[in-house]
């Protein structure tokens, strides 16, 4: 018999701050202290919803490095333009996803797209950091732009759906290629609808509620920007929506290795962090 994952706890952001001048974020991981419970996910920043007035100067985060992990940016409202030291560039808007594997090192910038900057509007995105195992931390960087039309979805009976960004759901394979087993589902569940999502037993699981109200595996959850930690023993997630709700399901195989982090670098030891800083300063991660 299929077993439902138990909700261990429901948490709110413990940190709200600006990243550059373009991303007003509420941090859900690690500010809630869940980072050891949700490996391989290292960070979840929820940017917005924030209204930006019209401007001639793009807002965002200028040139900065990363090493040892991946960044995943999911766009809900607004547009962001990316370029990096590997020669990759792209713009994502509502429904699109950018999956950047920093690995051995990359320098990039993330700025509001120029047309969005000129027009102004509401900006809403999520950025995740996904860890890489020791054996892959120094592999070559990689960049994936996953446009809305490239992301498959599983439909629910009353018009809701789950977009399969990564992993697999009900036989539908996700758009992203990943280094370790990760399932990432972006779900809309309509009021009065009950949705069931499979998530492998033994994997760490969290459900982020962007907005809405419902019952998650027998536990009420409502409001905006709440994250639920689920146990690893079950294999099914059920959400009964009381209001139209928007969820992001994070499910992945834990990387059981030491984590050493310093700003934009995530490695296994302090010595590796020192090397990352030295390599960046020496230009070994490239320049824009």
Instruction: Establish if 140 belongs to a structural domain.
Output: yes
Instruction: Establish if 95 belongs to a structural domain.
Output: yes
Tokens for 218, please give them.
């027998």
Which CATH number goes with the domain that contains 114? Answer: 2.60.120.10
Answer for the pair 283, 270: CB distance below 8 angstroms, yes or no.
no
Residues 157, 134: Cα–Cα separation, whole Å: 42
Instruction: Establish if 173 belongs to a structural domain.
Output: yes
DSSP reduced 3-state for 276: helix
**pLDDT of 2:** 72
Instruction: Establish if 288 belongs to a structural domain.
Output: no
Structural domain count of the chain: 1
C-alpha torsion angle, residues 285, 38, 79, 150 (rounded to 10):
100
Instruction: For residue 160, give its domain range.
Output: 7-281
Q: pLDDT tens digits for 96-107?
A: 999 999 999 999
Instruction: Establish if 1 belongs to a structural domain.
Output: no
Answer for the pair 100, 63: CB distance below 8 angstroms, yes or no.
no
**pLDDT of 62:** 94
Residues 228, 141: Cα–Cα separation, whole Å: 31
Residues 213, 221: Cα–Cα separation, whole Å: 6
Residues 214, 216: Cα–Cα separation, whole Å: 6
Residues sharing a CB contact under 8 Å with residue 87, sequence separation 6 or more, in sequence order: none
**pLDDT of 1:** 64
Instruction: Establish if 2 belongs to a structural domain.
Output: no
> What pLDDT tens digit does each residue of the chain (288 aa) get?
679 999 999 999 999 999 999 999 999 999 999 999 999 999 999 999 999 999 999 999 999 999 999 999 999 999 999 999 999 999 999 999 999 999 999 999 999 999 999 999 999 999 999 999 999 999 999 999 999 999 999 999 999 999 999 999 999 999 999 999 999 999 999 999 999 999 999 999 999 999 999 999 999 999 999 999 999 999 999 999 999 999 999 999 999 999 999 999 999 999 999 999 999 999 999 998
């Amino acid at each position: 018999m299929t077993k439902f994952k138990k909700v261990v706890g429901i948490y709110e952001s413990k940190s709200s701050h600006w990243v550059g001048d373009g991303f007003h974020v509420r941090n859900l991981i690690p500010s809630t202290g869940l980072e050891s419970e949700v490996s391989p996910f290292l960070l979840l920043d929820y940017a917005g919803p924030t209204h930006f007035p019209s401007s001639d100067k793009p807002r965002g985060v200028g040139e900065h490095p990363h090493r040892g992990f991946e960044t995943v940016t999911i766009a809900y409202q607004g547009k962001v333009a990316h370029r990096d030291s590997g020669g990759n560039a792209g713009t994502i808007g509502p429904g699109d996803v950018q999956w950047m594997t920093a690995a051995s090192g990359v320098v990039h910038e993330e700025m509001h797209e120029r047309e969005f900057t000129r027009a102004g509007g509401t900006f809403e995105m999520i950025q995740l950091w996904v860890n890489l195992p020791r054996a892959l931390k120094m592999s070559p960087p990689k960049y994936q732009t996953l446009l809305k039309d490239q992301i498959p979805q599983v439909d629910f009976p009353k018009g809701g759906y789950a977009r399969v960004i990564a992993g697999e759901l009900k036989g539908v394979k996700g758009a992203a290629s990943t280094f370790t087993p990760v399932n990432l589902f972006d779900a809309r569940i309509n009021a009065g609808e009950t949705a069931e999502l499979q998530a492998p037993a033994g994997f760490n699981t969290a459900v982020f509620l962007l907005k809405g109200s419902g019952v998650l595996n027998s536990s009420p959850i409502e409001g905006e920007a709440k994250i639920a930690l689920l146990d690893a023993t079950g294999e099914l997630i059920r959400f009964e929506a009381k209001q139209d709700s928007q969820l992001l399901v994070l499910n992945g195989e834990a990387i059981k290795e030491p984590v050493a982090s310093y700003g934009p670098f995530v490695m296994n030891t302090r010595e590796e962090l020192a090397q990352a800083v030295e390599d960046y300063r020496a230009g070994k991660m490239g320049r824009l």
